[in-house]
Amino acid sequence: MSLPQHPRRTRLAGLTAAGAALALTLAACSSGSEAEPAAGGEAADLGELTVQLSWIKNAEFAGEFFADSKGYYADAGFSSVTLNAGPGATESIVLSGGADFGLSNAVAVGQVVAEEDAPLKIVGTTYQKNPFTILSLKDGGDIATPEDLVGKKIGVQAGGNEALFDALLEVNGIDPADVEKVPVEYDPSPLVNGEVDGFLAYVTNESIIVESEGHEVTNLLFADNGLPFVAESVVTTDEMIANEPEKVKAFLQAEILGWKDAVADPEEGARLAVEEYGADLELDLEKEIQQATIQAETLVVTEETEANGLFTISDELIEQNIATLAAAGIEVEAEDLFDMSLLTELLEEQPELAE
Q: Do the bridges between strand 153-156 and strand 198-202 make them parallel or antiparallel, or are there none, so unpaired?
A: parallel
Give the angle subtended at the CA of 181 by the CAs of 171 and 163, to the nearest 5°: 45
pLDDT by residue for the chain (355 residues), tens only, comes to 233 333 334 434 333 333 333 232 323 333 333 344 544 445 679 999 999 999 999 999 999 999 999 999 999 999 999 999 998 889 999 999 999 999 999 988 999 999 999 999 999 999 999 999 999 999 999 999 999 999 999 999 987 788 889 989 999 999 999 999 999 998 999 999 999 999 999 999 999 999 999 999 999 999 999 999 999 999 999 999 999 999 999 999 999 999 999 999 999 999 999 999 999 999 999 999 999 999 999 999 999 999 999 999 999 999 999 999 998 889 999 999 999 999 999 999 999 999 9
> Are the C-beta atoms of 143 and 197 separated by less than 8 Å?
yes
| E strand or H helix at 235 | strand 231-237
DSSP reduced 3-state for 337: helix
> Are the C-beta atoms of 199 and 155 separated by less than 8 Å?
yes
The pLDDT, as a whole number, for residue 43 is: 61
CA distance 22 to 88: 8
Provide the mean pLDDT of the chain.
89
Amino acid at 347: L
pTM of the model: 0.83
Considering only CA atoms, which of 202, 177, 222 is closest in space to residue 7? 202
Q: Classify residue 208 by its DSSP letter.
A: H
